[in-house]
Amino acid sequence: MQIGEFAKICNTNISLLRHYDKVGVLVPSYTDKFTGYRHYSEDQVAVFKRIGTLKQAGFSLQEIKHMLESSQNGEAVFGLFEKKKEDIKRTLLNLDSAKRTFVESEVRNIVQEDILNENREIPFENDDIVGKWQVLGEYAVKEDFYGGVCANTKRYGEYIKELYFLPYGKQYWCYSWTKGKLLTKFGGKTASVNEYTLEEHNGDKYMFVDMKAGRIRPGEKSAIVVLRRIDNTEYTLDALARHDNIDLPFINDEAVVGKWKALDFCRTKEEFNVLKLHNTQLFWTGVEFQPGGDLIRIYNYGKRVLCGRKNASWTKGVVIDKKEKVSCAYEICKIDNAEYLFVEWKTGDYIYGGMEPQYYVFIREK
In angstroms, how far is CA 116 from the centroid of its own chain? 26
Q: Is the pLDDT of residue 305 over 60?
A: no
Q: Residue 2 pLDDT more than 80?
A: yes
d(Cα 321, Cα 324) in Å, to the nearest integer? 6
Tell me the C-alpha distance between 265 and 247, whole Å: 27
109-117 mean pLDDT: 43
Q: Would you call 30 helix, strand, or coil by DSSP?
A: strand
Confidence bin at 9 (pLDDT 50/70/90): very high
φ, ψ for residue 334, nearest 5 deg: -105, 120
Percentage of residues in the chain with pLDDT exceeding 70?
86
Give the E-state strand segments of 151-188 in sequence order.
162-165, 175-178, 181-186
At 118 the three-state DSSP class reads: coil
CATH level 3 topology of 258-364: Lipocalin (2.40.128)
For the chain, the average pLDDT equals: 86
Domain parsing of the chain, residue ranges: 3-69, 131-240, 258-364
Question: Domain 3-69, what fold?
Answer: Multidrug-efflux Transporter Regulator; Chain: A; Domain 2 (1.10.1660)
Q: In degrees rounded to 5, what are phi and psi of residue 232? A: -120, 35
Question: Which of 134-138, 161-165, 297-301, 340-344 shows the lowest mean pLDDT across its residues?
Answer: 297-301
Q: State the helix-helix crossing angle for 74-116 and 61-69, rounded to 10 degrees.
A: 160
